[in-house]
Amino acid sequence: MGIDSKPMNPVPPTVSVCIANYNGMAVIDDCLRSVLGQQGDIPIEILVHDDASTDGSAAYIREHYLDVVLIESDANVGFCIANNRMAARARGQFVLLLNNDAALFPDALQSLLLESKRLAYPAILTLPQYDATTGTLVDWGCLLDPFYNPVPNLNPNRSDVAMVIGACLWIPKSLWDELEGFPEWFGSIAEDMYLCCRARLAGYAVRALAVSGYRHWQGKSFGGNRVVGNRLATTFRRRALSERNKTFVMVVTCPTSLLLLLIFCHFTLLMVEGLLLSLLKRDSSFWWSIYAPLLPSLWHRCAALKELRRSVQNQRRLNVSQWLAAFRGYPYKLEMLAKHGWPDVR
């Protein structure tokens, strides 16, 4: 990893904005300008981790944004390692993880800081997410279904949620350090779910504000994960990582009394889903790329998952009913299937 050092401001910032960038030339200006244009005169620092981009965006940031701390990686290491590296260097009391394809409303940091001070206890926060293409509301954070699929929260009166999207995730630096950041072997996808689930189990709040917001070019930074022409569009890589990492989160965070039954149902339904998709699409790539690798992945990470589960469950402060309060009983995939049909996977 190469680090492009900048002179350190002797006044410590209140907020460290951490932006993971990979080939973000088309969106990085919008992102950085939204941070630099924040209201409230809040002391901030901006850290950008460039994940071995090939589009010249690292050189562009270095030339045009002189106050940005640019961390340049020699290899593509993924979202988890990128954010762990930035958080390790962050000097602020609070850290905001921000996607390079997201742009903050002008009062975003002010709103997040005010809520943090009002709560007076550590909490993970987010803002309302709006689709950058259409301007429509995407969510006020997310709930989870029984199989750990994120369910957009569209109730402005509900602030306590199961998770917030990593495109805009606010966390006290002390809480990030306590939770030990992202597991680096996740790579990308569902690391935000893991962090929020771990925080909730340990008794910390995960909340979505109903004010301010951010615009998100959904799928720009990783591909897929959006509705196009009333069809859900995604990629084989994203879907495979999503199913694998959601399973990891389930294994690590699910209370023991629920885990054995849930993991059996989860794998049974996933295998049925994979076979149906392969047959209906007449393409075995669905099975071999997305579903077949799940059990080998669990076996390969068995030791790490056991160790992580032991640590997380030992810190658990919620009972089962409190844990399930942020879940809903109906599988979200069935709702999406009824609404949009089978996904368009590329």
Using DSSP, state whether 3 is helix, strand or coil.
strand
Strands of the sheet containing 129-131, edge to edge, are 102-104, 214-216, 129-131, 137-139
The single-letter DSSP state of residue 184 is G
Reading phi first (left if > 0) and then psi (alpha if -120 to 50, else beta), residue 311 is in: alpha
Burial (CB count <10 Å: 0-12, 13-18, 19+), residue 181: buried
Question: H helices of 186-300, where?
Answer: 191-201, 236-253, 256-281, 285-286, 294-300
Torsion, CA 197, CA 203, CA 208, CA 214, rounded to 10: -60
- Between the two ends of the chain, the Cα-to-Cα distance in Å is 32
Q: Six-digit token pair at 27? A: 């969106």
Q: What is the pLDDT of residues 168-208, one digit of tens each?
A: 999 999 999 999 999 999 999 999 999 999 999 999 999 99
Q: CB-based contacts of 130: which residues, under 8 Å, 6+ apart?
A: 136, 137, 138, 213, 214, 215, 216
Length of the chain: 346
Give average pLDDT by consecutive 10-residue segment, the chain, 346 residues. Answer: 58 95 96 97 97 96 96 95 98 98 98 95 97 95 97 94 97 97 94 98 97 88 59 84 96 94 94 93 92 95 96 95 95 87 79
245-260 burial, b at 16+ Cβ within 10 Å, e below that, comes to bbbbbbbbbbeeeebe
Q: How far is CA 341 from each of CA 28, 227, 335, 344, rounded to the nearest angstrom? A: 33, 11, 9, 9
Q: What is the model's pLDDT at position 9?
A: 64
Amino acid in position 342: W
C-alpha closest to that of 146 among 290, 18, 249, 23? 249
Angle, nearest 10°, between helix axes 191-201 and 302-314?
A: 30
Bridge-based pairing state of the strands 205-208 and 123-126: parallel
Q: What is the model's pLDDT at position 341?
A: 80
Strands of the sheet containing 231-234, edge to edge, are 226-228, 231-234, 344-345
Contacts of range 236-241, beta carbons closer than 8 Å, 24 or more positions apart: 236/285, 236/286, 236/289, 236/290, 236/345, 236/346, 238/189, 239/290, 239/343, 239/345, 240/289, 240/290, 240/293, 241/187, 241/188, 241/189, 241/190
Reading phi first (left if > 0) and then psi (alpha if -120 to 50, else beta), residue 11 is in: beta
pTM summary value: 0.93
Domains of the chain by residue range: 2-216, 226-345
Q: What is the pLDDT of residues 80-106, one digit of tens each?
A: 999 999 999 999 999 999 999 999 999
Cβ atoms 93, 173 nearer than 8 A = yes
CA geometry: angle 92, 96, 99, nearest 5 deg:
140
H or E element that contains 315: none
Give the chain's radius of gyration (CA, Å).
20
Under CATH, to which class is 2-216 assigned? Answer: alpha beta
Return d(Cα 267, Cα 51) in angstroms, integer. Answer: 33
Q: Six-digit token pair at 72? A: 């340049």
